[in-house]
Amino acid sequence: MTVPMPAPTPTPPIQTDALTLMAGDHALVDRATLRVEAGEVVAVTGGAGSGKSLLLRALAGLPLPGIDVAGNARVDGRRLLIAQGGVLAPRRPLGAQAAEILGHHLGLDAGGSLRRLSDALDRLGVPAAARRLDLPPDRLPDGLRWTALFALALAVGPAVLMADAPGAGLDPTVRLRLLHRLAEWARGEAVALILAGRPEDGVAGPATRALALHRGRLLPAVPHAAVAFHRGPAAVPPGGPLLTGRGVTVSFPLGRTAKGEERRLTVVHPVDLDLAEGETVALLGETGSGKAMLARALAHLPAPTEGRVAWKGRALESGDATGMRRTRRDLQVLFPDPAAALDPAQTVGAQLAETLESLRPDIPADRRARRVADALETAGLPAQTAQRWPVSLSAAEAARAGLARALLPEPRALVCDEPAASLSAEERSAFLDDLLAVRDRHRLSLLLATEQAEEGLRNADRALVLLMGRVVESAPAETLRHGARHPLTRAMLAAARGGSPRLEGEAPSALALRDGCPLRTRCPNERPFCAQAVPTLEEIAPGHRVACHYWDTP
Amino acid sequence: MMTLFTGSEGRPGGRGAAAVAVLAGLALACAVAPLMADGAVVRRHDADPLVAALLDGRGSLSFALFAGLLGGALGVGWGVLATALGRRAERRLMSTATRLTALPLVLLVPLAAGLLGGGVGILALTVALAVAPAIAGLTHAELNALMRREFLTAARAAGLSEGAILRRHLIPNARRPLLAAGALALPRALAAESFAGLLGLGLPAPLGSWGASAGLAARLGDPVALAAPALLLAVSLWALCAFADSLRPGHPRP
C-alpha cells in the first residue's frame, strides 16, 4: 500500500516500552513495545484470547482487575476506546447519547453536539445523516449502528482512537469500506488509530502496518493470505453433469393482502445451475443474498418452491422416498453450524451409524462401526470420537464430525453451506484444506456457498455471485479473480484483499425492495436507468455472464 | 464443559436437587403428621399450629399433584396437538390459548366451587382448565423451537423418513422440555387451589388445605395460626417451581 509514513516525532501519542501484563505468573502480553505516530494506522491481529482486548484496555488506561502491569505505557492526549461489540445504550435515541457524550468531552450543548455528530456522519458517507438521530441504536441496521459509533468517536476528536474488533459481524464489503473511511479520517486529522481484530477480519487492510499478537508477543504480522495454504481447483478437468437445477426458486408465504391475494417473499429468483462431476462451484454473496437457500434447495432441504432439480438427469421428487434416498446417498450436505446439526441426545457414533443404516442398507450391521471409525479418521478425528456426546465437541471437532457424516455413504457431491463459518482462521484453513484433500482423493463435486470471495474463488473452478436471490455474475473462477465485471463481485474481492470496496451502505432488506437493480442504492456506477429494469444475465465473453446495465463502465 | 443433562452437579442441578429434597421432606412430614397429633382422633383446631399445618398439607399437596398432573397433561396435549395438526388448526388452537392465558382464569376456581357446590372432582377439573392454556403456550413454544433445529434437517439429509425422525430425534429431544412445561402446572395448581381456599371456597370441609387455614386465621386475627400454613405454602411453591425449572434441558454453551 502506498501510504506515506508519518514522520517520526520525538513524542508519539502512543509509546510503550516492554509493557507486560501478567495474570498471576502467566504473561498474557509479554514485553510489548509499540510506537504509534500521530496519523498512523496500526492493526493488531490475533486469534481468540490472544490478549488484544487486554492490550487495548491497558493503553486506554482502564482498570484491569487481577492483572499486574509492568513496563511503561505512555498515551498522550484524549484517548478513546471503542470496546468489543460496539457498546451504545440500545434503547436511548442516538442523538441523546451523542449529546451526553459530546457534552461530557467537549462541553457542547445538545444542538452543537448534534451538528458535530452530523458532520462526522457526513464524513463517513452516511447520506441525510440528521434523520436517523432520533432512533435508538437497536432499531438501526448493524452497518449504520457501527457507522454511528465511529461517527461519535470522530465527533469527540480524540488524539488516540482504539477500536476492538470494529464492525465484527458486518459483511466484509460493509466493514472494509467503513474501516477505510475511518483510517482516512485518522490520517487526515493526525490521529493515532489502532484497529484490533482477528486475522480474518481484514483489519490489516486499511492499516499502515500490521502487528500480530501471538503467544503474548507483539510482532510484525505475516500477511493473512500467505498463511493460509490452499489447494486451488481440482486438477482433473470436470466430467459430465451430476446436479442440474433449472429455474430453481425459493419463496415463503407472508400471509394474504386485504384483497385476499397471497403475498410471498422470494429469496431465490429463478436460477439455473449445473454441477459437473469433479467440479467445484462457489456460490458467493453477502449475508441475505440467498446463497444458502439456493444450496439447500438444490439438496431438497427443503425442496424449491418452483423449478426442478435433477441428479444425473433424473428429476428429484419429494414424494418418491426411495429415489430421494438413493440421491441423498450421492449428495450430502455440510451445515453452517455443525454443532447444531448434531442431535444432542445421541452420541456422535450413533448418529453416524444411523446415517449409514439409512443410506447404505447394503453394508451389514456388524461392519458399520468399522465404517464410522474410518470416516472419522478420514475427517481428521480419532475413532473414539464416536463415543462422545455432541455438546462435548469443540467447534472444529463438530465441523469434522459433520464432514465424517457426509463422507460416510461415499457420496459423489457435497453441498457445503458456509461449512467453516463457525471456525477461527487457523481451524478454518485447516478444515478447508482437509475438505479439499478429500475432494481430490475421491473426485467429489463441491457446491461451496461462502461470503469469503477470495477463498471461494481460489478453491473453485467456477463461481456464481448472488445478489438478493439473483445471479449477477457467473464465470470461471480464474476469470472472476482478475477480470470481475459486476460492481458487487469487485467489491467483495476488494474487501477480501483488504482494499476499500466501492459500495455505499448495506444491503437493503428483502422485504423493502425497490424497483430496478437491487444494488443501485449502493452502486458507484448507478444511473437513472438502473431504477427502471432489473438487469438480466448477458454473456460478455465465453462462459462469463454478467447482470449489470453498465458492466463495461470501469 | 456443560454436560448434556443438568444432573446432580453444577448449580441448576443443585437447585433442582434441593427442591426435590424439600418436596420429599414436606410430603413425608405431612404423611406422618397424624402420628404427631397425639394418636387417637385427629382434630386440627386443637393441635399445635405446625402439626395442624402439616395435616392441611396432606390435602393441599395431594390436590396439587392430582389437579396439576391433570392440567399439565391437558396443556401439553393441547400444545402437541396444535403443532401436529397443521397450520390452520395450530393458529386456532394457539390463539385460543393465548387469549385464555391473558384472562384471570384463577377466578374460575372459587366461582365454580361456589356455584357448583365444590366437590373435589369439580374443583380439580376447574383448576386443570385454568392452568392448561399457559402450559399449552409453553409446550407450543418449546416444540416450535425444536422443529427449527438444524439436526432435524441433517436427519432429513441422511434420508430418514418423517416417521423415523419423529421417533429417533424429535421425541427424545422433546421429552425433557415437555416434562418441564408440564411440571409447571403443579405450582400453578397449588396456587389456584390456595387462592380459592383463602376465600373459603377451596377443598371441601373434612379435607384441610393451607389456603383455607390461612384464610381462617386471617379472619380470626390469629398471626401464629397464619404463619405456619403460609410459610409451608411459600416453601412448596418455591420447591415446585425450582423442580420444574431443573427439568429444562441446559442450553449448550460454546
CA B221/CA B218 separation, integer angstroms: 5
Q: Does B156 touch chain A (CB under 8 A)?
A: yes
Tens of pLDDT along A271-281?
999 999 889 99
Out of A296, A339, A358, the one facing B159 most closely (by C-beta) is A358
A40 and A160 both lie in a single domain: yes
Q: Flag whether pLDDT at A418 surpasses 60.
A: yes
**Amino acid (1-letter code) at residue B86:** G
* Closest residue in chain A to residue B150, using alpha carbons only: A341
The strands making up A280-285's β-sheet, listed across from edge to edge, are: A331-334, A413-417, A445-450, A280-285, A462-467, A470-476, A544-546, A538-541
Q: Flag whether pLDDT at A1 surpasses 60.
A: no
pLDDT at B6: 41
Does residue A406 lie within any of the structural domains? no
> Residues B160-166: what's their mean pLDDT?
89
Give A390's contacts in chain B (Cβ within 8 Å): 252
Does residue B253 lie within any of the structural domains? no
Least Cα distance to A151 among A125, A177, A174 occurs for A125
Record the cell numbers describing residue B113, joined without a space: 366451587
A277 and A200 both lie in a single domain: no
Tens of pLDDT along A499-514?
888 888 777 777 777 7
| Domain hosting residue B97, numbered range | 10-38+49-247
Least Cα distance to A435 among A138, A229, A210 occurs for A229
Smallest Cα distance from A446 to chain B, Å: 16
Please give the interface size between A and B, counted as residue pairs whose CB atoms are below 8 Å apart: 71
A78 and A191 both lie in a single domain: yes
* Per-window interface: A 329-348 vs B, CB < 8 A: 329, 332-333, 335, 337, 339-346
A253 and A223 both lie in a single domain: no
CATH number of the domain residue B17 falls in: 1.10.3720.10
pLDDT at B2: 36
A113 and A155 both lie in a single domain: yes
Tens of pLDDT along A289-321?
889 999 999 999 888 999 999 998 888 887 788
A118 and A20 both lie in a single domain: yes
Q: Flag whether pLDDT at A348 surpasses 80.
A: yes
Does residue B2 lie within any of the structural domains? no
> What is the H or E stretch that residue A372 is in?
helix A368-378
Does residue B60 lie within any of the structural domains? yes
Instruction: Decide: residue A136, CB within 10 A, 0-12 exposed, 13-18 middle, 19+ buried.
Output: middle
Does residue A2 lie within any of the structural domains? no
The interaxial angle of helices B171-183 and B120-147, nearest 10 deg, is: 140
Q: Residue B183's pLDDT band (boundaries 50, 70, 90)?
A: very high
Higher pLDDT, A127 or A426: A426
The total number of structural domains that make up chain B:
1
Q: What percent of chain A has pLDDT over 90?
A: 29
Higher pLDDT, A465 or A170: A465
Q: Residue A247's pLDDT band (boundaries 50, 70, 90)?
A: very high
pLDDT at A76: 85
A251 and A184 both lie in a single domain: no
CA A337/CA A349 separation, integer angstroms: 19
CATH number of the domain residue A182 falls in: 3.40.50.300
Does residue A397 lie within any of the structural domains? no
pLDDT at A373: 93
Q: Does A358 touch chain B (CB under 8 A)?
A: yes
Out of B159, B168, B169, the one facing A359 most closely (by C-beta) is B159
Out of A354, A389, A391, the one facing B158 most closely (by C-beta) is A354
Instruction: Decide: residue A470, CB within 10 A, 0-12 exposed, 13-18 middle, 19+ buried.
Output: buried
Does residue B106 lie within any of the structural domains? yes
Q: Does A410 touch chain B (CB under 8 A)?
A: no
pLDDT at B7: 40
Cβ pair A343:B151 closer than 8 A: yes
Does residue B44 lie within any of the structural domains? no
> What is the H or E stretch that residue A538 is in?
strand A538-541
Q: Flag whether pLDDT at A553 surpasses 90.
A: no
pLDDT at A407: 92
The total number of structural domains that make up chain A:
2
pLDDT at B44: 52
Cβ pair A358:B172 closer than 8 A: no
Q: Flag whether pLDDT at A7 surpasses 70.
A: no
A125 and A211 both lie in a single domain: yes
Does residue A349 lie within any of the structural domains? no
| Cβ–Cβ under 8 Å, residues A457 and A520 | no
pLDDT at A419: 86
Least Cα distance to B130 among B194, B207, B176, B212 occurs for B194
Does residue B254 lie within any of the structural domains? no
Tens of pLDDT along A350-404?
999 999 999 998 888 888 899 999 999 999 999 899 999 999 999 999 999 999 9
Does residue A130 lie within any of the structural domains? yes
Alpha-carbon torsion angle A170, A171, A176, A181, nearest 10:
-60
CA A147/CA A160 separation, integer angstroms: 18
Does residue A335 lie within any of the structural domains? no
**Amino acid (1-letter code) at residue A348:** V
Smallest Cα distance from A326 to chain B, Å: 8
Q: Does A298 touch chain B (CB under 8 A)?
A: no
A58 and A201 both lie in a single domain: yes
> Residues B182-209: what's their mean pLDDT?
89
Query: DSSP secondary-structure letter at A275?
Result: E
Q: Flag whether pLDDT at A322 surpasses 90.
A: no
Give me chain A's average pLDDT, please: 86
pLDDT at B191: 94
Tens of pLDDT along A430-474?
899 999 999 999 889 999 999 888 888 988 999 999 998 999 999
Cβ pair A340:B150 closer than 8 A: yes
pLDDT at A166: 87
pLDDT at A230: 54
Higher pLDDT, A351 or A200: A351
Smallest Cα distance from A345 to chain B, Å: 6
Query: What is the DSSP code string of A28-47?
Result: EEEEEEEEE-TT-EEEEE--
pLDDT at A531: 87
CA B141/CA B139 separation, integer angstroms: 5
* Closest residue in chain B to residue A331, using alpha carbons only: B157
Tens of pLDDT along B32-70?
887 776 554 455 556 678 888 888 888 899 999 999 999
Does residue A376 lie within any of the structural domains? no
Instruction: Decide: residue B102, CB within 10 A, 0-12 exposed, 13-18 middle, 19+ buried.
Output: exposed
Least Cα distance to A175 among A155, A157, A153, A198 occurs for A198
Does residue B252 lie within any of the structural domains? no
Helices within chain B (DSSP H only): 10-36, 49-84, 87-102, 108-116, 120-147, 150-157, 162-165, 171-183, 185-198, 210-220, 223-247
A257 and A208 both lie in a single domain: no
As beta bridge partners, residue A308 has: A246
Task: Output b/e per residue, A30-61; b: 16+ Cβ within 10 A.
Answer: bebebebbbbbbbbbbbbeebbbbbbbbbbbe
Mutate to test the interface with A, among B3, B4, B5, B150 (most CBs of A within 10 A): B150
pLDDT at A447: 93
Among A195-204, A216-225, B207-216, name the one with the lowest average pLDDT: A216-225
Does residue B218 lie within any of the structural domains? yes
As beta bridge partners, residue A475 has: A463
Among A8-12, B107-111, B121-125, B131-135, name the one with the lowest average pLDDT: A8-12
Would the ipTM clear 0.85, i.e. be above it? no
Query: What is the DSSP code string of A83-142?
Result: -TT----SSS-HHHHHHHHHHHHH---HHHHHHHHHHHHHHTT-TTGGGGGGS-GGGS-H
pLDDT at B49: 81
pLDDT at A316: 85
Q: Which residue has the cell 383448576?
A: B127
List Cα–Cα distances, B231 to A474, B50, B146, B201, B211, in angstroms: 73, 10, 38, 21, 11
| Domain hosting residue A223, numbered range | 14-227
Does residue A203 lie within any of the structural domains? yes
List Cα–Cα distances, A427 to A233, A384, A394, B153, in angstroms: 20, 21, 11, 25
pLDDT at B4: 37
Q: Residue B8's pLDDT band (boundaries 50, 70, 90)?
A: very low
* Closest residue in chain B to residue A347, using alpha carbons only: B4
A459 and A542 both lie in a single domain: yes
A214 and A107 both lie in a single domain: yes
